């Protein structure tokens, strides 16, 4: 039954192993980001998803390229400390500031591929929450971050006599949707955008720029406000989950990757280089993901299938590969979000799922 031997994963990825769960793996693309083409490995059980992302990739490719920007925020761990009063809380925060370089050395001594870059305190009564921010290089890094934060917490106990009540005080905020991560970011912030000619929207996406803009406004934006949704998007989680599963990411971080905002606008576009005055109304489409937790080493990235998926993307343990993976996530989310929105705008969503998601030939 198992395609993995217990010795490959026990003590690292699983306990009490009884077998392996298989999920279909599909391919979409190529997705063009800057000057590079990526074939996207996508693991999913949702019919029509791979086809939809593939269509979005085609549309963006015909438009030229997807522009992606990544900002490294850092992995975070936020322990909570119990203090006697506000005076002791102030003392703790001041001590952290005064001894920050010492704590940086302590963290790096515990985990050589990790660097403490910042801390953010929050005092609430007799509780002090401290959000430690780390550069984890090519790893997603939560194991490293946890070990380093534990060492820091023990140092605080040793020097100040202040107890750490919980190594994670929900101030990280790990594996939960939160406004703190939405506003401040976590892991990596990712932006992606594309301008699509009207002809591409009509021929590939079977709709118009105006209809897509209308759907984004009334569904992704206004609909999210009405429903109290934390993310103003259509289905980031679908694409994030498929890529995460294929490449060995922590699946619980999909909830963070599902956060984000989709925007669409009508924008002028030059039709011919020979005549700058000749313009058309094209579609500007963008996605923003403030909380992308990814890595190309560690976790499940060492598993054989996941290694092959990463190699398919040209990624491994080279410097900058984690950023490049985040770029792929952003571009893929844009492609999938664009195609879904177009299907809604054209009235084809139900028909697509009837044809591709019901097991009927």
CB atoms within 10 A of CB 263: 17
Is residue 214 flagged as an active site residue? no
Catalytic residue of the set 111, 138, 174, 250: 250
Is residue 353 flagged as an active site residue? yes
* Three-class SS state of 299: helix
Catalytic residue of the set 99, 113, 302, 353: 353
Q: Is 37 exposed, middle or buried (0-12, 13-18, 19+ CB in 10 A)?
A: middle
Q: Do residues 328 and 192 touch, judged by C-beta distance below 8 A? A: no
Catalytic residue of the set 46, 90, 193, 348: 46
Cα 124 to Cα 269: distance, rounded to the nearest angstrom? 52
Cα 307 to Cα 2: distance, rounded to the nearest angstrom? 17
Alpha-carbon dihedral sign for residues 132, 136, 141, 145 = negative
DSSP summary character for residue 282: E
Q: What is the DSSP string of 315-357?
A: -SSSTTHHHHHHHHHHHHHHHHHHHHHHHHHHT-HHHHHHHHS
Q: Considering only CA atoms, give the Rg of the chain.
A: 23
Q: Do residues 262 and 335 touch, judged by C-beta distance below 8 A? A: no
Is residue 102 flagged as an active site residue? no
Cα 241 to Cα 219: distance, rounded to the nearest angstrom? 21
Task: For residue 3, give every residue at least 6 positions away whose Cβ sits within 8 Å of its Cβ, in sequence order, or none.
Answer: 20, 22, 304, 305
Catalytic residue numbers read 46, 250, 353
């Amino acid at each position: 039954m198992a395609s993995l031997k217990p010795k490959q994963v026990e003590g690292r990825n699983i306990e009490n192993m009884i077998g392996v769960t298989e999920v279909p793996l599909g391919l979409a693309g190529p997705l063009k980001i800057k000057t590079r083409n990526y074939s996207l490995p996508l693991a999913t059980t949702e019919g029509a998803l791979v086809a939809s992302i593939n269509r979005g990739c085609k549309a963006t490719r015909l438009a030229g390229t997807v522009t992606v920007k990544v900002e490294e925020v850092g992995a975070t761990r936020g322990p909570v400390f119990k203090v006697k009063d506000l005076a002791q809380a102030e003392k703790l925060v001041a001590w952290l500031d005064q001894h920050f370089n010492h704590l940086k050395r302590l963290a790096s001594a515990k985990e050589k591929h990790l660097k403490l870059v910042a801390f953010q305190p929050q005092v609430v009564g007799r509780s002090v929450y401290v959000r430690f921010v780390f550069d984890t290089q090519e790893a997603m890094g939560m194991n490293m971050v946890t070990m380093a934060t534990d060492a820091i917490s023990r140092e605080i106990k040793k020097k100040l006599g202040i107890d750490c009540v919980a190594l994670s005080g929900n101030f990280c905020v790990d594996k939960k949707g939160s406004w703190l991560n939405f506003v401040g970011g976590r892991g990596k912030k990712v932006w992606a955008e594309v301008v699509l000619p009207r002809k591409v929207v009509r021929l590939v996406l079977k709709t118009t720029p105006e209809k897509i803009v209308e759907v984004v406004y009334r569904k992704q934006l206004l609909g999210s406000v009405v429903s109290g949704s934390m993310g103003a998007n259509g289905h980031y989680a679908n694409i994030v989950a498929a890529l995460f599963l294929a490449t060995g990411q922590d699946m619980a971080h999909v909830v963070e990757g599902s956060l984000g905002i989709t925007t669409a606008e009508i924008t002028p576009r030059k039709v011919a280089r020979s005549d700058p005055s000749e313009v058309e109304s094209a579609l500007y489409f963008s996605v923003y993901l403030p909380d992308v937790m990814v890595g190309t080493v560690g976790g499940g990235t060492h598993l054989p299938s996941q290694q092959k998926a990463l190699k398919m993307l040209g990624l491994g343990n080279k410097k900058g590969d984690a950023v490049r993976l985040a770029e792929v996530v952003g571009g893929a989310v844009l492609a999938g979000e664009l195609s879904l929105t177009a299907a809604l705008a054209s009235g084809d969503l139900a028909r697509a799922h009837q044809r591709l998601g019901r097991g009927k030939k």
